[in-house]
Structure formats: C-alpha cells, structure tokens
Structure 1
Amino acid sequence: MRKKMYAAMLGLATVGAVTLSSGGASSHGYTDQPLSRQKACGNGGIVKGCGSIQYEPQSVEGLKGFPGRGPADGKICSAGNGGFSALDQPKQPNGTAWPATQLSGGQSYNFRWQFTAAHATADFKYYITKNGWNQNAPLTRAALESTPFLTVPYNGQRPPWTLSHSGQVPSGKTGNHVVLAVWTVADTPNAFYACSDVKF
C-alpha cells in the first residue's frame, strides 16, 4: 500500500513539474534583427564577458506594462535581472561600443524575433531613443520617445519560431540610438525585452 501511495505521489509531483515548466518560464525569445545586446553576447557570440546572459539570451524577462510598469529605469535592457546587468551598461564589457546595426531614417526594415518557446502573445512594441539622449548612461524611459514607432497586435496567438515585423524606421534620427523591442505575453504577468544598438 505504501509503495502504491508513494508511486501516486511521485506521479502527481511529476505532472506538477511538467505543468509548471510549460507555463511562463518556458516562453523565451530575443531579437536578432537589429542585433540585440543579448544575441551579441549569447552562445559564444561576438561580445565576450557578459556573464550568464551568454547561456540564455532568450531569458530577458520582466514585468509587462511598459512604460507605465516593467523594469526600473537603468535596468530596462536587462529587464531588471541582476544576472544580466551587463546588458544595461552603455558599453560592452571590454569598454568598447556595442555592435550597432546600420539604419537609414525612413527606411523599411524587418524587425525579427527568434523564439525558443512560443507563448500566447498580446503584442510587440518597438521604441527608439530621442535625439540628444545620454549615450553614456543606462537606458531610461526619459531617453526613449514616449510612444512606440511600431506596434504589432498579436491577439493571443502563439508566434512561430521565427517572426518578422516589417515597419518603417523613424526619420530624423542621426548618430547612435537604441531600439527597445518589447514582446508582451498574453497569459502571464511578464514581457520580454531586447535592446539593439543602431547607427543612422
């Protein structure tokens, strides 16, 4: 009888673990067009010394509701995850500029996400820094334009493994900027954040 009860309890524990692992924690993704900081750091990427983000560039997850809620100013690029704090720094760990994708103001561009696990999705939003923003400090809300330049509703659907959004790059930008992409999950309290350095 004891053996049967133990087996039943073990079975329930296993089912519970599977159920938990299929929730929000299994939902991950990052942008690679334009190249995000986490992708640049990830999987033996072109930026070294980033810490634990190199093993899980898809895991930059924080509270949703940006800009009203979400990660604190100065911790937006890491989504407030202390282990990913290298992403918040204005320069890469070796002290040089982050790799930047070349863009032209007003051009059409395919913003691309890569997913390691799909999740029901509310929307995707893309923000960009203002002209004259402080490039020598971690990203803040005040440094970003107040409204996204591209919003893609997703109505609770699950994205494929690779998803591109065609949109127009804002005009009137010069020099170095950061594009912040926010993937808002529909059925958890969280969103995924990706900062990409770009140059006009």
Structure 2
Amino acid sequence: MRGLKKRAAFVGAIVAPALALSLPASTASAHGYISDPPSRQAQCAAGTVSCGDITYEPQSVEGPKGLSSCSGGNSRFSELDDDSKGWAVTPVSSSTSFQWKLTAQHATSTWEYYAGGQKIAEFDDGGAKPGETVTHQVDFGGLKGQQKVLAVWNVADTSNAFYACIDVNVS
C-alpha cells in the first residue's frame, strides 16, 4: 500500500506540471479608458448614450497602434466612431485634466492626445507600468469651441494601443 501511495505521488508530481502547461493561458479581459471627462465609452457604460457591446466593455477599445478612430478599428465598437450619436459634450478649460481608469496595467510607452487634427500632448512613460488611474494635464493651446479629443494609450511591449474619444467644449 505504501509503494502505491509513493507511485501515485510521483505520477502526480510529473503529470500536474505538464497538464498546467498544456492548458490555454487566460487573456486579460480588461484594460482602460478615459473616465473624466467622460469618454464616449464611459457614456455608453453609464447609459448616457444607447450603445451595443461597448456598454459592458468600456475598457476594451484596443487596436493596432497608429489609428485615428474612436473604436480602435474594432467593428464591435463602431458606434464610437459615429459623431451624430448624441454624445454629451463636457465644458472644459484650455488646460484640462484627463483621467484614465485602468483595469489592467500594461507597460506603457506613451500617452497621446489629439484634437483639431493635430497632436496636442504626449506623455512618455518609458515602459513603466501605471497604477489604477492615470491623470494628464492637457493644454489645448489655441483650440476653442467644440472638439473631439482622441486619447491613445500606447502599450510598450505589444503592437497595440487603447483608444478613447472625448467630446469637449473648450472655453
């Protein structure tokens, strides 16, 4: 009986690691989005605007780096690209804080902000992993009036980025 227990323990010690290695790795189910001022996906999640899948996954707007779409090129979230959808516009000053809510921290190369067809700010994190929130103070320069801001979180160790659009009225 004692030999049988030793053999079972030995087989278990060999099989368990092999089994663990053969199981599929789980992928991260969440990432991040702009929560303040409320991005389009934050408005969907809050029910401010009626949306599809993005309502349940505001943190999941991920796509290849270098895109300029609110959906990050993801057809599941294409309603984020629809400028006529009735997005709430937030009044802001010419220098405004944008806060990202992060549900999975990724090594970060840069954070970029675009408005009026031009880059208005860039923050270089040099590969650092952020905390649960990240806030950037963005200066709109001479831009005034209603603007659609495209915020991009460029991940350092993949070819992807996270995208968020925020509708603001710069005073």
TM-score, normalised with respect to structure 1? 0.73
Q: 1:46 to 1:172 in 2, by over 3 A?
A: closer
The residue number in structure 2 matching 1:149 is 120
Percent identity (aligned): 44
Structure 2: unaligned runs, 5 residues or longer:
1-6
1:10 aligns with 2:58: no
Gaps of 5+ in 1: 130-143
Contact 1:112–1:164 (CA<8 Å) still a contact in 2? Answer: yes
Give the match for residue 70 of structure 2.
77
Q: Any idea what SS the aligned residue of 1:149 has?
A: strand
Normalising by structure 2, what TM-score? 0.84
Q: Which runs of structure 2 are paired with 1:45-194 in the superposition (5 Å)?
A: 45-48=47-50, 50-64=51-65, 66=66, 70=67, 76-92=69-85, 97-104=86-93, 107-129=94-116, 144-145=117-118, 148-174=119-145, 176-194=146-164
Q: Which residue of 2 aligns with 1:132?
A: none
Q: Is the 8 A contact 1:27 1:118 kept in 2?
A: no
Q: Is the 8 A contact 1:27 1:119 kept in 2?
A: no
Distance 1:182 1:172, change over 3 A: closer
CA offsets per residue over residues 75-101 of structure 1, 9 Å max, x none?
x11111111011011122xxxx21011
- 1:118/1:158 contact within 8 Å kept: yes
Residue pair 1:58, 1:115 contacting (<8 A) in 2 also: yes
Is 1:195 aligned to residue 171 of structure 2?
no
* Moved beyond 4 Å, runs of 4+: 3-8
**1:29 aligned partner:** 32
Amino acid at match of 2:163: Y
Q: CA deviation at 1:46?
A: 1.5
Report the Cα distance in structure 1 between the residues aligned to 2:143 and 2:52, rounded to whole angstroms: 35
CA RMSD of aligned residues (A): 2.2
Alignment partner of 1:117: what SS?
coil
Partner Cα distance (2:64, 2:150) in 1: 15
Q: Over alpha carbons, which structure has the higher Rg?
A: 2
